[in-house]
Amino acid sequence: MRLSVEPVEIAQLKIFSSLAHGTSPKRYSLSGGESGLLRVGACGRGGSIEEHRDCFLRSLDIGPREVFLARQVHGARTYVLDDPSVAGAALATVEADAIVTGLVEKPIGVLTADCIPIVVYDPELRVVGAVHAGRKGTAEKILSRTIGVMRERYGCRPENLRLGMGPGIGACCYEVGEECAGPFAQNFSGGKPFVKKSRGGKYLIDLFGANEADGLDAGALPGNIFRSGQCTACSGDAFYSYRREGPGTGRMLTVAMLRREKN
């Protein structure tokens, strides 16, 4: 029986026919009513991972093909995919937490399990980026850095960009200690407090709010920043969560691809 999945897509990005994007869910379903865990994680292709990735890509009307994924290290480096001869496997050892490209039919992606996946799209110049924004990357302003790369390399104007944030851990659940909260708060001390006191000397971090502020600081317009709205830690049946399930949990794959223009 053939697997099927229901991807999470940002409605305000889905209106662009030249862009394919989406985040994989935690589970797949079969025609007989059964379901199972969707495995698209960081172990590469082969076996069920290849089958499950292809199933997810079909759900986005992309079709089975290689996804360009870098080696994520919770940093703020952006990799520019501008050479059409580069194979996806070559990126596996490249340390980067964001990828941008102007190449068509080359799906780029990030893997997450609480960190915020962000798709950055320029519908005017047809350039797209995929960003992995965890606590450390957010503190280092990975989103605004990626927007800066798109501006410098492709001439993108921040006010034309559309930013879509997929499922990630919300401020309702992302509780940390002072050793994490203190350094994070210092990077966002000038605006809305994205670190709030919780109980027992703990703090709650708002990654969505912090990344939205970072996007605005980079020149994106408030009306062009969107959220899918799901908290991965709250939604145990729908998404993987490192915070809830521990280091052995799976990963969601967020993909963005420029479609070839039809004549």
Q: What ranges do the domains of the chain cover? A: 3-258
β-pairing, 175-176 vs 162-165, is unpaired
Kindly tell me if the per-residue pLDDT of 44 is higher than 70.
Answer: no
Q: What is the pLDDT of residues 137-177, one digit of tens each?
A: 999 999 999 999 999 999 999 999 999 999 999 999 999 99
Kindly tell me if the per-residue pLDDT of 46 is higher than 50.
Answer: no
Around Cβ 46, how many Cβ atoms within 10 Å?
8
Separation CA 224–CA 250 (nearest Å): 30
pTM score, two decimals?
Answer: 0.95
Separation CA 52–CA 24 (nearest Å): 10
Cα–Cα separations (whole angstroms), residue 85 to 82, 88, 90, 222, 232: 9, 10, 10, 37, 36
Higher pLDDT, 122 or 183: 122
- The answer as to CATH 3.60.140.10 being correct for domain 3-258 is yes
Three-state SS at 186: helix
Around Cβ 255, how many Cβ atoms within 10 Å?
26
Q: What is the pLDDT of residues 79-114, one digit of tens each?
A: 999 999 999 989 999 999 999 999 999 999 999 999
Residues with Cβ within 8 Å of 250's Cβ and at least 6 positions away in sequence, in order, are: 26, 37, 38, 39, 40, 41, 113, 240
Beta strands in the chain (DSSP E): 3-4, 19-23, 27-30, 35-37, 78-81, 98-101, 108-112, 116-122, 127-133, 162-165, 175-176, 195-197, 203-205, 225-227, 252-258
Percent of the chain with pLDDT over 90: 81
Separation CA 75–CA 62 (nearest Å): 29
Give buried/exposed letters for 215-224 (b at 16+ CB in 10 A, else e).
bbbbbbeeeb
Separation CA 41–CA 23 (nearest Å): 12
Three-state SS at 243: helix
Q: Where are the alpha helices (DSSP H) in 91-169?
A: 135-139, 142-154
Enter the tokens of residue 80.
């520019």
Question: Could you tell me if 239 and 25 are in contact, meaning their C-beta atoms sit under 8 angstroms apart?
Answer: yes
